[in-house]
Structure 1
Amino acid sequence: MPLDDNDDCLKALPFYKADGESPNTNMPAPAQVKTPARRHQTPNKRPRRPPRPPTTIVQEPDPHELSDAAYKLLQRYDRLRRPGDLINAIALYRRALQLIPNEHPHKPYWLNNLGHCLYHLFSRSGGAKDIESSVSAFRDAMVLTFDGHPQLPLWLSNLAVSLRARSERFGELSDLESALETNRRAVALTPDDDPELPRRLSNLALSLWDRFNRFGEPNDIESALETHRHAVALTPDGDPELPRRLSNLAISFGTRFEHFGEPSDLESALETDRRAVALTPDGDPKLPLRLSNLAEYLRTRFKRYGERNDLERAIDADQRAVKLTPEGRPHRSDWMNKLGVSFEIRFTHDRTQKNFDE
């Protein structure tokens, strides 16, 4: 069952701008210095020479201007999702970073933003170089940040997100372990009253869930559930992240049920996902996924106990997931296949022509 985690990974990578900067895309114009025109020698009737072109002195760009321009492009990308803005922001941040020494106080901030851009580019294209560069940028930001710096937990959290993405892309165990340990450190350094703590707990829980699925160690799924619960408990009602965190908590309950068969875990998965669906607004792109997961839990309970209402509710949820997913979207065929499974179960159970036709 796919995790409902993409939104949180992206939100774990906020735009960060060093103090004192303001977005500004006005790049300094090259300074031009003109040499005086030479007098033409007319007495000897020699051919006139054309005047020399003006001498141009190229002024080195101000790295702060470059950073401000990149930041404004990032903001526009966040609104409009134009790939060109992302690519240009990456180029500007790279140039700005070349122009400042490692001791510059803004360098970790700009490295963080560069890593953020590269992560987004990887999410769009899947390019191996992009995720490698994202991990490298976040690592460099962390290395340049002293212990006790208020932004260190953010740099760690961002690095963990990119490491987890690289682990999913290439399957390297070292990345999985590094993401887990980096998330743990980020959580440990985050104060209890920090509003980012629920997000970092959620990311830690996802890394624990990943490792459980890799090795099946019971302690990992227990820790994932405990950490998901903590993240949900710290998320206030009305927070737009609450449905997603509930959905991932439900998935962890469902995972433990699949491996150990405890009926209470199936009930917890079902009730938690119901709450996630109820809190998800119509039009939210994650709603079809949450409905499909809900249908899966209901089908599983029908197979276990034979309660007809569970199967009917599963079909309703499957139909809503299909209806809410436009033609051509990548997951629509998955939702349709699952709806077909529900109809097949009902036909097998009832043996009626109506169910067969559906």
Structure 2
Amino acid sequence: MAQVSLAGIGKTYEGAGANTIAGLDLDVQDGEFLVLVGPSGCGKSTTLRMIAGLEEPTAGEIRIGGRRVDGLEPRERGIAMVFQNYALYPHMTVAQNMSFGLRLAKLPRAEIRRRVEGAAETLGLSGHLDRHPKALSGGQRQRVAMGRAIVREPEVFLFDEPLSNLDAQLRGQMRAEIRRIHDRLSATTIYVTHDQVEAMTLADRVVVLKDGRIEQQGSPQELYDRPATRFVAGFLGSPQMNFLAATVRNGALDLGGGAVLPLPSGRPLPEGRRLDAGIRPEAFAAAAPEDAAFHATATMVEHLGATSLVHFSHAGQDCAALMEPARAPRAGQPVHLSADPARLSLFDADSGRAV
């Protein structure tokens, strides 16, 4: 496997401000599973396609294993890509689909058979090699697409939203499968998704993109616990973080609607500073009315099995709290909540940067 380095990579489309990459610097370590995540139009797929050689950068350099590859054809880059739509040939069997690139490269038949059978065993496809794609489930077709990449024995695996066409249950199964294969092959992997759950569960490191620039990068837990911007805080996490307008008053945090919380320990802030306070749904706790900071009426309750998501309004802002089902109110009933100040995320109200 190999390291991937992007230095000052740029991509500008004539007459378009969106989908533009501006001076992107990124190093992916040998054997790392890196996930590029962000909303539609942030540039994540364009970045992946430039690494693959399907898009030409308008600035910068791309190196794979220390070798500069921008300007080289995709087949010369030592990469293999798995697409969202599988891109399988319907008239070919599983074995023929998986071996197609090897046959074009005129590898010996024995070598092709060895690679296909090895990949099929890894992916649980050994009993399906003679079937055609129409006889396979969606998850099996995605495995075939992955097998076609594995048999090439590339330096780098590239995944472009490979699970978007699968239902929720299959997505969960395939996430585990992809991570297991990565760990088994010790493969350098770059994975693109707009699904923050995939990013959090798969990645060694997550890179959050916004408007063609890196907003923040780090381990999934680091980004979840210490988001650098309000954008990252709101994008990562399911259910999403709640945001409340806040003002520093008398050394405490005034969240409006009568809710006041102490400032997080060790974080003195100037009087009158305007902030956005981020509170994750699980950071709320049911409290007795006399001990609660938040007093509201439940507007809707989603029962999720082990937990319930209670929706309410505070100071004109829609909020949600995760609660134990036994303690969750019904819609229309009062809800009294406290929140641990140490679990707040605070952002400057103007810049959106963490403070």
Q: TM-score range by the shorter chain?
A: under 0.3
Q: Which has the higher contact order (CA 8 A, sep 6+)?
A: 2
Bigger Rg, which one: 1
- TM (normalized to structure 1)? 0.28
Larger helix fraction of residues: 1
- TM (normalized to structure 2)? 0.28
